[in-house]
Amino acid sequence: MKGLDEYGEIECIECCGKELYVGTSDSFLILYTLEEKHEANGKVVYKSRKMLHKVLEALRPQASCDQDTTAQASKPHINISIYSDNLICELPNAAHRCSQHSPAAAWLMSAQPGNVVAVPKTSTLLGIQRKPVKCIKAASALNRLLILCDSSLLILNMYDLEITGGGPKLRGISTFCVNENPNINNPFCIQICVARKRQLQVYNVTEEKLIHVKDIGVPEPALGVAVDGSYICAALQTQYTVYNFDTNVTQHLFSYGCEEFHPIIRRITKEEFLLSAPEGLGMFVNAEGMSNRPPILWSYPLRALAYSHPYILGLSDDVIMVYSILDQQQKQALPFVGGRNIGNFDGRIYVTSGTAVYSLTPVPWEKQVEVLLADSRVEEALELAQNANRGGMTKEQYQKVYHKIQQQAAFICFSSGEFGKAQELFDSSSVDPREVISLFPGLMPQSSTFVRTIPPLHSIADVSHLFRGDEGKLNEAKQFLRHFLEDLHETSLQHTLEVDTALLKLYAEINAPELEAFIAAGEITCDVKDCCDWLEKNKCYHALALLHRHAHDHDRALKVWAKIITGEYKDDSFHGLEFFIECLANLKEPELMWRYADFVLCRDQDAGVGIFTLRSDQEGSSDKMKPDVIVDYLYQYPKALVKYLEHLVMKQEIQVFGTTDSETYVTLKMTVYLGRVIVFQAEKFHTHLAILYLEDILKKRKEGNEEAVMEARTKLRHLLQVSSLCRVQLLLGKMSDANLHQEVAILYGKIEEHEKALDILVHNLKDFKGAEMYCVSNTEGRGLKYKHSLFHTLLAVYLDPKLEPSKKEEYLVPALELLSARAGDFDASQVLEMLPPTWSVSVVETFLRGALRASLHKVGTVNDLPNREIYKGQSISNGNIRITSNGDCFG
């Protein structure tokens, strides 16, 4: 700004758009237009052009502001303008030009109406006092400037600098400020607060007038004020105080009471102010008098303050101090000698000396963040980025920039071993996981085409170089990567090839127990060939086989497992032969299963038969998996054959299906075999199993192993009892000389030769209770007549007249016990005919009483039949019926 020294020293400035207003110590107001140019290197260059100027102080004898207004009006009015190096003073009735060598006193004494007086601008005129311009505030909505000069508040037009209203609007003003957050709805109105002696006044200012709002009495003159909403923060001579001019509430803040102390107030945010305090402090206070932030400790004596989020700028005589409002720490100190004022004008920071105005251009926040990150000051960088002025950016643009900053910060944390913080930043910034995976040699899939971001987010080559072989740090880094990838695997659908491949390789490298479950779950997308090579390299053979199976290469999977079983490979994580058998049973290709059938059955017949018994029912439809094919194969493995036949027999259900042409087909349904087979096939399996049990009994009997014999007989009896498909005559023939009376009795019962069965139970086994239960079980579901017949047969066995006398005596007691216990199951009249004539009534008294009670109960039941439903028709055409082992059919 050339030639500024002609108008005195700079006292204050104001900027509105491209217009810069400068107030000087000699009452001049000068208007400049600024041209801002951004150079390619990022530097901002300003060019100023002086538009016009105005002298604000009237040339008149100094008079008290309290003079009578009428007297003031009678004084001659002096207009002042500038011509060359002289002041041209025009009076209403006289004007006089005074040369530079003419005494000012002479000019004043000789001035006559109509004369023009010219005096040097720098002259000190007798009786005339030049006043500095103390404060300038622009009201762009009103096209007005508010100026404080010579204790008067002037309002000027912003463009021609003409005073509106003919003169000062208010006099006796010590300071004023504009309310930046007024509670008014008129956009063409501003609110100001002025300080006058022991009073604060609030005015609303329009284009034409001042509207008085409020007067507030104060105990001391105010040296400075700041307003936000309804709150006025005032710096009095000895204390700071907050006034609410809506509620008239006063809040004393703190005192300073030092004559040398210079109080400074700066509004920060809504209802929050920054105050200079003794002992070099800057105190944040809100409208309630509370402090929500720690204080600032100024490093130099404070002269002026400015706030440009997120920075506090403090001006001293020699330095500009830059503090962050986020952590109240000093971030920068700029040498600046002779500073007078500093301020934020519509986002631009201007600082003045006595002779010049300087622009303090902040480094873009992105560049500041970059510098902080380069210095590994991660927290400060993130805090700055979060609170930066995002002007000119859309939300999406800022989010993109901020995510990149988070990612850079994350890699810095990773480099310093702060893995928890790194993962948090990686997650929140949605980092490309491949950027992280690429730090770990070998974990990226060979098929990946990933290239690191350009420009790079970090300078890390890989973790080996970063941690210089420190095993502890490397292990921590791998654990970090593990958790990072596990979270991505569960939540993200992007870059699954790289994520799953890296996670699988990492599990293998650190020998993690989760490796098997990770592969077996089947929800992975990885580079199979690359991972297989990696697993083989790390000797994770079981996982290798699982991965082959996951890729549907069952042949290779089985080969690997077979090598583990034979001991060629060693892998403690393998679950053994049972797992291998289960895998074979689940194969859809019977050829592969048959290929390994001998392999497993040679090692364990009991478990190996699971390759057949554990298969799904649907596999029974395959010709290669028919039960008779399997049975024929298992002849060479007796134990397995028994197990397989047990599986077939014990899991069966016999059903008869009616068809439209009245043909009946019997089907055998088994858990491992679903299909229709004819009954004789089932008979073959049942009979075959019974014969195998019989052979096992005879074998163990020869070995003298009675315990094993009893166990085998128990199995045989159970089979004979539950099966209705055994070939009874064949089995009876094989058991004729085997001394297996109980089993033979069961067989006789199957063909309803009950007398033979009961004869064995009574005479051979002496099992009287068993004979009774035989009758009970074989009459279940049968009619009363059938039940009478069977119990009469048992009684006849006891009372067989062909028995020797000693035997007759032996069976007398069980016969009487049977009659007494089962009186209701006998026909009394037939029993009486069967009893020996030598028996007295007293012998069978108990039976007779029981028979009588049963008969009376029967009569009562019959009499009640008309009142009960005794028959219900049921159609069975085209329906299913069930055949029991006794031959009964049920719908």
How many DSSP H helices and E strands does the chain contain?
Answer: 31, 34
pLDDT of residue 843: 80
SS3 194: strand
Alpha-carbon distance values, 300 to 331, 498, 565 (Å): 14, 56, 81
pLDDT at 651 over 80: no
Percent of the chain clearing pLDDT 70 (strictly above)? 83
pLDDT of residue 680: 66
Band of the pLDDT at 98, cuts 50, 70, 90? very low
pLDDT at 496 over 50: yes
pLDDT of residue 198: 92
| CA 817/CA 762 separation, integer angstroms | 14
pLDDT of residue 286: 93
pLDDT at 753 over 80: yes
| CA 316/CA 264 separation, integer angstroms | 12
Tokens of 879: 């329906």
Alpha-carbon distance values, 850 to 776, 818, 825, 827 (Å): 18, 12, 10, 11
Residue owning tokens 């004043």: 108
| CA 107/CA 99 separation, integer angstroms | 9
Band of the pLDDT at 854, cuts 50, 70, 90? confident
Work out the average pLDDT over 848-852.
81
Work out the average pLDDT over 558-580.
95
Tokens of 291: 């402090």
* DSSP letter string, 494-538: SSHHHHHHHHHHHHHHTT-THHHHHHHT------HHHHHHHHHHT
Q: Which of 812, 810, 774 is nearest to 793 (CA)?
A: 774
101 or 183, which is more confident: 183
263 or 42, which is more confident: 263
pLDDT of residue 535: 95
- Mean pLDDT across the chain: 83
Least confident span in 60-64, 340-344, 466-470 = 60-64
pLDDT at 247 over 80: yes
The number of residues making up the chain comes to 891
Per residue in 694-721, pLDDT tens?
999 999 999 988 999 999 999 999 999 8
Work out the average pLDDT over 51-69.
56
Tokens of 883: 């055949």
Work out the average pLDDT over 750-779.
92
pLDDT of residue 97: 38
pLDDT of residue 725: 86
Tokens of 389: 């002025």
Residue 749 has φ and ψ, to the nearest 5°, of -65, -35
- Label residue 645 exposed, middle or buried (CB < 10 Å: 0-12, 13-18, 19+): buried
Work out the average pLDDT over 626-646.
93
67 or 174, which is more confident: 174
| CA 815/CA 823 separation, integer angstroms | 12
pLDDT of residue 343: 94
Residue owning tokens 């690359």: 530
| CA 822/CA 850 separation, integer angstroms | 8
- Alpha carbon 393 to its chain centroid, in Å, reads 28
Per residue in 143-182, pLDDT tens?
999 999 999 999 999 999 998 876 678 999 999 999 999 9
Tokens of 443: 């974990």
Residue owning tokens 């609303």: 204
- Is residue 226 within 8 Å of 210, Cβ to Cβ? no
623 or 657, which is more confident: 623
Percent of the chain clearing pLDDT 90 (strictly above)? 58
- Is residue 148 within 8 Å of 23, Cβ to Cβ? no
Work out the average pLDDT over 518-538.
92
Q: Which of 725, 721, 803, 796 is nearest to 758 (CA)?
A: 796
| CA 132/CA 155 separation, integer angstroms | 16
- Alpha carbon 859 to its chain centroid, in Å, reads 78
Least confident span in 110-124, 359-373, 620-634 = 110-124
* DSSP letter string, 26-45: TSEEEEEEEEEEE-TTS-EE
pLDDT of residue 738: 86
> 46-62 burial by CB neighbour count: b if 16+ within 10 A, else e?
bebeeeebbbbbbbeee
Band of the pLDDT at 431, cuts 50, 70, 90? very high
Work out the average pLDDT over 244-260.
89
Cβ count near 255 (within 10 Å): 12
**Angle, to 10 degrees, between the axis of helix 471-491 and the axis of helix 496-509?**
140
| CA 140/CA 489 separation, integer angstroms | 58
pLDDT of residue 860: 55
pLDDT of residue 688: 92
| CA 237/CA 884 separation, integer angstroms | 113
Work out the average pLDDT over 572-600.
93
Q: Which helix (H) or strand (E) holds 872?
A: none
Residue owning tokens 């583990």: 564
Band of the pLDDT at 652, cuts 50, 70, 90? low
Cβ count near 692 (within 10 Å): 19
Band of the pLDDT at 300, cuts 50, 70, 90? very high
Q: Which of 301, 295, 299, 274 is nearest to 285 (CA)?
A: 274
Least confident span in 29-43, 228-242, 491-505, 668-682 = 668-682
Per residue in 795-818, pLDDT tens?
999 998 888 888 888 888 998 899
pLDDT at 681 over 80: no
Q: Which helix (H) or strand (E) holds 791?
A: helix 784-798
**In the chain, what is the straight-line distance between the N-terminal and C-terminal CA atoms, in Å?**
114
Per residue in 41-58, pLDDT tens?
767 788 889 999 999 864
Q: What is the largest CA-CA distance in the chain?
A: 182
SS3 797: helix
Per residue in 378-402, pLDDT tens?
999 998 888 887 777 888 999 999 9
Band of the pLDDT at 859, cuts 50, 70, 90? low
Q: Specify the DSSP class assigned to residue 670.
A: B
pLDDT of residue 640: 95
By DSSP bridging, strand 341-345 and strand 348-352 are antiparallel
- Is residue 679 within 8 Å of 722, Cβ to Cβ? no
